[in-house]
Structure 1
């Protein structure tokens, strides 16, 4: 559950964006609200409103990162800008609305078939291959940020905590933890070990997703009552090798979930080539 640090009513939205019809709230975080909306120029869109605060540089990085990618693995960014809503300075992003089902909803329905998991895994690896080519680490690969569309497959959303390896980090060196979602963050991300953050960090989260889709549970959040428990479990617990599925697929997933980043596969493209050889 998300707790918002700011609220925006419908009247304020209409005043700030008279050319937009807001249909429904899709999600909400401490600094961000996402709506499904209709615009005269783009039609059906995902409309993001982000409170800038001291996070304006991260906000701009998110937009720049997301704008550099395109369908089918990522939504199209149509436009963005700044505005004032109810006396709050915000940045807005208008992006392609992806029809489909959240991967979280699919996972919550129970273990998925190996064929479906492999197809989604291949789609996501192709997306991570694109991010790796631009020296970008997404750092928030999780079911809530993935939509599965029946025509194009899995689409990766939200570059809110992405890290561009060619730019200086926005997280203070003295911070105990780096930006993350407990249960999906790699150990080096949890420990804010900036020099160890790489494309292999996203491969760790990809491995967790694959494990969760096949088993129906996240090995690092299962039975945990708090985020702290999930963090400790990620750092200390070694998940059992998946049983009852293709042994080569299970081996690849386990390899991606190694605690030390240098012991994981070298790149998403390397994993992609391995996955193409998996025969179900």
Structure 2
């Protein structure tokens, strides 16, 4: 039986034991599977992850979400360990976001400038909230930006959140730190842990926004691949001039500063980033 089938059976079993209604699979990621469940009148996302080593990162994710109170951060209802047969699982009960992901929406075309600016400002305000909590998300990408039924954007999946006031869980000898390479800042790609702060999330968000505007990764040059773009970011090269000019023409020249290779050259404060995104 595959891991996915094991987790689906585990989710159904958990729902039966806790008196929840099980409504099937929502999606699968690299480490977690999500299912739709219902408790009384409330639908929620039931997320299960198999624990194969230390659960510390999973516990930190729950702690981070419990410490946040922002309308554009998914609401955590509960998180707990659970045994299913010989499997040790970590269970998260989280707000169900009926509007789907930005990743799915992009398959139907790029968002309008007005919609994108709303998404940009809202998520930049989330970064301001996280910065005040000494948290760095480190995995901002279209799959982790979701929408409520009314279209409001929400940041999800704090699975690799960095707590700046806690010891790091990433080994110093690793060549690359946690994150999704295509949406990672240079300091993530080179595991330069001393440079990780809110400006890392600023860079990650700016990649997403620029991709929505350009239709491709902002560091991709004509005739080059996404792998080439990732290597360019890791080497701390500047964004290709043609892409920067295009962002200027589209009214989002502010992203050029957010995508500077060195954190010190990006926006210093979240409030500055927010204000820049509001201006066409």
Is TM > 0.5 for Structure 1 vs Structure 2?
A: yes
Structure 1 pair 220–22 and aligned structure 2 pair: CA distance change class (3 A): farther
Name the structure 1 match of 2:93: 94
Q: Shift of the alpha carbon at 1:243?
A: 4.7
Find the counterpart in structure 2 of residue 24 from structure 1. Answer: 24
Shift in alpha-carbon separation, 1:27–1:10, aligned structure 2, 3 A: closer
Q: Find the counterpart in structure 1 of residue 274 from structure 2.
A: 272
Pairwise CA distance, 1:117? 1.1
1:12 is displaced (CA, Å) by 3.8
Q: Distance in 2 between matches of 1:183 and 1:248?
A: 22
Give the direction of change, closer, same or farther, for the CA distance of 1:48–1:60 in structure 2 (3 Å limit). Answer: same
Aligned to 1:143: 142
Matches within 5 A, 1:1-280: 7-8=5-6, 10-18=8-16, 19-40=19-40, 43-149=42-148, 151=150, 153-220=152-219, 229-236=228-235, 238-239=239-240, 240-243=242-245, 249-276=251-278, 278-279=279-280
Report if the CA contact (8 A) 2:21-2:37 is conserved: yes
Look up the SS of the partner of 1:53 in the other structure: coil
In 1, distance between residues paired with 2:260 and 2:72? 26
> SS where residue 118 of structure 1 aligns?
helix
- Cα shift at 1:97: 0.5
Runs of 4+ displaced beyond 6 Å: 221-226
For residues 10 and 141 of structure 1, what CA distance do their matches in structure 2 show?
26
* C-alpha RMSD of matched pairs (Å): 2.4
Question: Hey, what's the Cα distance between the residues in 1 that align with 2:110 and 2:174?
Answer: 37
**Number of aligned pairs?**
273
The 3-state SS of whatever aligns with 1:101 is coil
TM-score normalized by the length of structure 2: 0.88
Question: How far apart are 1:202 and its partner, in Å?
Answer: 0.3
Judged with a 3 Å threshold, the aligned counterparts in structure 2 of structure 1 residues 200 and 271 are, in CA distance, closer, same or farther, namely same
Structure 2 residue matching 1:63: 3-state secondary structure: helix
Q: Distance in 2 between matches of 1:195 and 1:117?
A: 31
- Deviation per CA, 1:231-261: give whole Å up to 9, x if none: 3132245233445666594321011011111
- 1:101 is displaced (CA, Å) by 3.2
8 Å contact kept, 1:20–1:39: yes
TM-score by length of structure 1 reads: 0.88
SS in 1 for 2:253: helix
Shift of 1:199: 0.4
Map Cα deviations across residues 123-152 of structure 1 (whole Å, 9 max, x no partner). 111111110110100000000001133636
Q: Summarize deviations over 1:195-245 as a string: whole Å, max 9, x none.
A: 00010000001111111111222234687767x545313224523344566
* Unaligned ranges ≥5, structure 2: none
Structure 1 stretches of 5 or more lacking a match? none
Q: Does structure 2 retain, via aligned residues, the 8 Å contact 1:183–1:220? A: no
Mapped to 1, the partners of 2:121 and 2:68 lie a distance apart of 17
Contact between 2:135 and 2:164, CA under 8 Å: does it hold in 1? yes
